[in-house]
Amino acid sequence: MAASWGTIIFMLVIPCVCSTVFYRDQQTWFEGVFLSSMCPLNVSASTLYGIMFDAGSTGTRIHVYTFVQKMPGQLPILEGEIFDSVKPGLSAFVDQPKQAAETVQGLLEVAKGSIPRSHWKRTPVVLKATAGLRLLPEKKAQALLFEVEEIFKKSPFLVPDDSVSILDGSYEGILAWVTVNFLTGQLHGHGQETMGTLDLGGASTQITFLPHLEKTLEHTPQGYLTSFEMFNSTFNLYTHSYLGFGLKAARLATLGALETQGIEGHTFRSACLPRWLEAEWIFGGMKYQYGGNQDGVMGFEPCYAEVLRVVQGRLHQPEEIKRKSFYAFSYYYDRAADTHMIDYEKGGVLKVKDFERKAREDFIKITTTKMFGFNVLLYLSRICELSLFLSLLQLTKKVNNIETGWALGATFHLLQSLGISH
């Protein structure tokens, strides 16, 4: 299995949050623009701010971006970012929408403390919800969004039309692609090779890249190719969002929980877990009982087979991606860091087979070591998720990771659409 993956490389780079700064070795156009994660000391009319909420399935995150407009008519320079987050996500409050909005209110206080009062009225605030709310019934999702919008209207910030909405999965992938290629300098100038992006959230996963081969254009399913305009350029991208293939949702599907939701007293069992395990897990506001196969098999191979049944035949795999470079972020990065495959602060470089090796090692530890307590549940969940990666990574074959996501690209698009920045 590993041999078929070849020598595909993953670059997993630490999230750019707070004072963390990402630089490349060579001199680039953006070198020196990340001056601080805080607001500039000398705030002027040329300083712009944007507040973007990322309402994911497992948590809500706020990004407060600071930009400086050096020259009229030119793209503003990103100067810094304030980042904070809360858990769980909005979807966990599916029947308590006012309580969900309170979590957003707390994060708005972060924005108020990060932006000078003189700029509040011209700083737009927007919340985009992703797959966690896409999976909810429409009425329940809209009830959550309504309460959040009410909170925004009471805030001192600029609230655009449609300030609270569900982000289409394809745009989630596109905007993450814009973010990564902006930060790495690939969108500055012409003729540079862009990087593909992979985003793995709790409920969905996205792949986006700029195709060059005619074969890709001719054999790609309808709806996977789209044109996107930004920075005075048009990009013809391959992008797709797989709803239900995020880390948490796919784990549920592997356990069989998606097909039998709502059955009280039912325990979902998996070969990915030790026979003695009996545990409880809450996701998306629902509680699930799960455990190991008490009289059946367990281990890497049967676990991998379970995961494969969920994803096999449901993923489009363009041949071109074997020769492209990708950045991957979100849970790709988190699980590699949690299992000490990379350094959490510095990131690292991995091959696909490194995920397989780590998963096999951890399965051996489970079968030879008697472990109890809450820590073992975290440990076992990571192993299950690493096995899931082995199937999901077949979607791309190679990944390069930087934790940027779609929020920065969405903020650029927001500022331009409002005429705040040109």
> Which tens digit of pLDDT belongs to each residue from 269-293?
888 888 888 888 877 777 888 888 8
Residues 155 and 246 in one domain: no
Note the pLDDT of residue 239.
94
Q: Are residues 239 and 382 in the same domain?
A: yes
pLDDT computed for residue 391 by the predictor = 53
**60: domain range?**
47-167
One domain, residues 248 and 389: yes
Same domain, yes or no: 154 and 200: no
Looking at residue 264, what is its pLDDT? 63
Residues making up the annotated binding site for ATP are: 202-206
Domain count, the chain: 2
Strand partners, 53: 62, 127
* pLDDT for 365: 75
Cβ contacts of 116-123, under 8 Å, gap ≥ 24: 116/39, 116/43, 117/156, 118/43, 119/43, 119/47, 119/49, 120/156, 120/157, 121/156, 121/157, 121/158, 122/158, 122/420, 123/48, 123/49, 123/50, 123/51, 123/157, 123/158
> What confidence score (pLDDT) does residue 422 get?
47
Q: Given pLDDT bands bounded at 50, 70 and 90, which one contains residue 261?
A: low
Residues 354 and 317 in one domain: yes
Q: What DSSP line would sit under 24-36, residue for residue?
A: -SS--TTTT----
Identify whether residues 116 and 207 lie together within a single domain: no
CATH, residue 146: 3.30.420.40
Q: Percentage of residues in the chain with pLDDT exceeding 90?
A: 26
- Comparing 4 with 109, which gets the higher pLDDT? 109
Query: Which one has a higher pLDDT value, 4 or 169?
Result: 169
Residues 248 and 376 both lie in one domain: yes
Strand runs labelled E in 153-232: 164-166, 196-200, 204-209, 225-230
The answer on 245 and 127 residing in a single domain is: no
- Whether residues 206 and 140 fall in one domain: no
Neighbours of 159 (CB within 10 A): 17
Q: Tell me the average pLDDT across 71-77.
A: 71
Q: What is residue 367's predicted lDDT score, i.e. its pLDDT?
A: 63
Tens digit of pLDDT for each residue in 283-326? 777 788 888 888 888 888 888 888 888 888 888 888 888 777 77
Active-site position among 79, 81, 172, 306: 172
Domain assignment of residue 39, yes or no: no
List, as residue ranges, the binding site: 202-206
Tell me, what's the pLDDT at 419? 77
When mean pLDDT is compared across 2-11, 228-237, 385-394, the lowest value belongs to 2-11
User: pTM above the 0.85 mark?
Assistant: no
214 is catalytic: no
pLDDT in the model for residue 402: 26
Residues 95 and 149 reside in one and the same domain: yes
**CATH number of the domain bearing residue 366:** 3.30.420.150
